[in-house]
Structure 1
Amino acid sequence: MRLARRLMVTPEGAIGLVLLILLAAVASLAPVLAPGDPLRIAGRALITPFTDPAFPLGTDRLGRDVFSGLLHGARTSLAVGLAAAAASLVLGLCIGLAAGFAGGLVDEALMRVVDAFQIVPGFLLALAFVSVMGASMPIVILAIALGAWADPARLTRAQVLSAREQDYVASARVIGMHPVEIALKEILPNVLPPVLALSAVIVAAAILTEAALSFLGLGDPNRVTWGSMIAEGRNVLRSSPWLSIIPGFALVVTVIAVYLVGEGLDKALNGRKVGTS
């Protein structure tokens, strides 16, 4: 709660958090605001926005409701972004904590694995993984996480290397605490804030990666996504540009909101450090 209050004090954090809350509310209420399958043919094709009360944002070239697709697409984008970020952060924290605390050969081996994943661009890794494993929601989340966990791992390792030399860690060793207990109870809480500040960047990148995969036809075919909506509008871009502009604008707003929350979170965490020093 204290962190949330600090986040709301910063202008970036307040604006970003309000936007994210609105997006989350819209996504959670999608089945109520736009009931039914968003992929079904609901009316005649290419209805212009704001000309038919039944379809406030018009329809695409197959007659699917753009408003319904936009709301249900928000659920997909936010779910993929948050799940992929959570998976990559957990994996990165575990690898970085193990490497930094164990040191020696364990550190060298794990860091070489991290280097191998950092060499390959995250999007190319996700693209290759989905192409081989098939397009589905869990596969897309796993593919994005595999391309994003290396940065949290390296940051966690750097923080652990600094924290393990502190007096409170030496005191924990003296009183006989188990190394795993020291890592989880003494070191992890102190290295977590900088890694959490990185989470906003990972969420934004995950949302964009999912949209790019869907744009290329590698998203889950059973779910409507903003990327697939943009790709669908590409075929009639000159005659019906709104089909790509509307989901594209939603994607931009979401990424900006996540970025603003990340900026506010960084300031809030730095402020907390200053306040407790």
Structure 2
Amino acid sequence: MTTDKGTTTGTPATPPTTAPDSAGGPRTLAWRRRRASAARFWRQYRTHRSGVAGLAALLLFALAAVTAPLLVGSDVDNVTDAPGSPLERPSSEFPFGTDRFGRDLFGLVIWGARVSLLVGLLAAVLSVAIGTLIGVTAGHFRGWYATVVMRVTDWFLVMPTLVLAIALATVMSRSLVTIVVAIGVTTWPTTARLVRAQTLAVETRPYIERARALGGGHWHVMSRHVLPQVMPLVLAQTTLIISAAILAEATLAFLGLGDPTGVSWGGLLQDAREAGAVSAGHWWYLVPPGIAIAVVALAFTLCGRAVESVLNPRLGVSR
């Protein structure tokens, strides 16, 4: 319809409407990508038979540790009301035999999984956190800071880790926190070296230069661009360090530097040594906790190698 002024009138134009986001929004899209990435990771991981076997063993030990109060009771470490006689051989009543106090070794091994796994996990997390922080900052800032930090790292690398852990556990009070700190602050240098090398490689990529040109600061570059690229390496390193942390906890407990109020696999070996199990031929006192330590350490190592192979196929880890 045309008016006398030469203008055209009609139905007002409807403003364009935005089509609904089929993905449900940026967050939904991000979660879908993460789920797809996790599904892709699992499809590749399960092709590694050794990694699947290690994961199955870890799940079995974790289930036993979580359900220990239901499986063996919460008074399994009571020395005043032991259910059996001292140093009984394995039988239908006591599958692993009894210790020098008459306690059921099967229940002690199950209960000891709680302490050994907890200490291994916490010590590994602390070690990887320290190593990642030092590695990322040393690779990003460089200069005198990187020189000083890496010289300190080299000093920790050449020093025997077990000796440093023993020294820390000796001067501090005997507790689980002491064991975690002693292991965590002495095993981080390897992670720091690996993360720094990966950070230096990431910092040379073009998108890092674009981020800096657009005004991205140090924290933005490290947290948004560098850290996500080094996280796969950190994840693989964590699984490998856990096995070393469990062995270190067992060693410290065997030397009498563990928590005297808790039951751990290393503490059981230390009790067996004090009871003269080796010279007396009480093999059942030594074998169960020793096998448990070896199996869990091997399982974490297998999982770590499988994770490395999935995240970096060029490693060519055998399946």
Query: Considering the TM-score relative to the shorter chain, is it more than 0.5?
Result: yes
- Aligned counterpart, 1:125: 164
Q: Of residues 227, 232, 239 in structure 1, which corresponds to 2:281?
A: 239
Q: Does 1:47 align with 2:88?
A: yes
How far apart are residue 273 of structure 1 and its match? 10
Question: Within 2, Cα distance between the matches of 1:106 and 1:5?
Answer: 42
- For residues 215-253 of structure 1, the C-alpha deviation after alignment (integer angstroms, 9 at most, x for no partner) is 111100011111111122231233311100111111111
Structure 1 SS opposite 2:61: helix
- Aligned counterpart, 1:261: 303
Question: Within 2, Cα distance between the matches of 1:121 and 1:6?
Answer: 37
- Give matches, 1:143-222, under 5 Å: 143-222=182-261
How far apart are residue 36 of structure 1 and its match? 2.0
How far apart are residue 179 of structure 1 and its match? 1.5
- For residues 152-187 of structure 1, the C-alpha deviation after alignment (integer angstroms, 9 at most, x for no partner) is 111111111111110010111111112111111101
Question: Within 2, Cα distance between the matches of 1:76 and 1:211?
Answer: 10
- For residues 21-77 of structure 1, the C-alpha deviation after alignment (integer angstroms, 9 at most, x for no partner) is 1111111111110112332132221121124x2x33221011122111101111111
**Root-mean-square deviation over aligned CA pairs:** 1.6
Q: Does 1:249 align with 2:288?
A: no
Question: Within 2, Cα distance between the matches of 1:190 and 1:267?
Answer: 16
User: What are the ranges of 5 or more consecutive residues in structure 2 without an aligned counterpart?
Assistant: 1-37
Question: Within 2, Cα distance between the matches of 1:7 and 1:214?
Answer: 34
Alpha carbons of structure 1 residues 6 and 23: separation in structure 2 relative to 1, 3 Å: same
Question: What is the aligned-residue identity percentage?
Answer: 39
User: What are the ranges of 5 or more consecutive residues in structure 1 without an aligned counterpart?
Assistant: none
Structure 2 SS opposite 1:9: coil
How far apart are residue 272 of structure 1 and its match? 9.6
- Aligned counterpart, 1:92: 131
- Over 6 Å off, 4+ runs: none
- For residues 95-126 of structure 1, the C-alpha deviation after alignment (integer angstroms, 9 at most, x for no partner) is 11111100101111111121121121111111
Alpha carbons of structure 1 residues 174 and 272: separation in structure 2 relative to 1, 3 Å: farther
Q: TM-score, normalised by structure 2?
A: 0.82
The answer to whether the 8 A contact 1:231-1:244 is kept is no
Q: Does 1:29 align with 2:35?
A: no
How far apart are residue 134 of structure 1 and its match? 2.2
Q: Which structure: larger Rg?
A: 2
Question: Within 1, Cα distance between the matches of 2:186 and 2:239?
Answer: 15
Question: Greater helix share, 1 or 2?
Answer: 1
- Aligned counterpart, 2:142: 103
Which amino acid is 1:171 matched to?
R
Q: Does 1:7 align with 2:6?
A: no
The answer to whether the 8 A contact 1:233-1:241 is kept is no
Of residues 214-223 and 173-182 in structure 1, the stretch that sits farther from structure 2 once superposed is 173-182
How far apart are residue 267 of structure 1 and its match? 1.0
Q: Does 1:224 align with 2:263?
A: yes
Structure 1 SS opposite 2:312: helix
Which amino acid is 2:60 matched to?
L
Question: Within 2, Cα distance between the matches of 1:5 and 1:83?
Answer: 28
Which amino acid is 1:64 matched to?
R
- For residues 122-162 of structure 1, the C-alpha deviation after alignment (integer angstroms, 9 at most, x for no partner) is 11111000001121101100100111111111111111111
- Aligned counterpart, 2:76: 38
The answer to whether the 8 A contact 1:80-1:207 is kept is yes
Q: TM-score, normalised by structure 1?
A: 0.94
Alpha carbons of structure 1 residues 273 and 61: separation in structure 2 relative to 1, 3 Å: closer
The answer to whether the 8 A contact 2:277-2:286 is kept is no
Of residues 263-272 and 99-108 in structure 1, the stretch that sits farther from structure 2 once superposed is 263-272
Question: Within 2, Cα distance between the matches of 1:69 and 1:124?
Answer: 28
Structure 1 SS opposite 2:111: helix
Question: Within 1, Cα distance between the matches of 2:163 and 2:150?
Answer: 21
- Aligned counterpart, 2:151: 112
Which amino acid is 1:11 matched to?
R
Q: Of residues 17, 24, 27 in structure 1, which corresponds to 2:55?
A: 17
Which amino acid is 1:45 matched to?
P
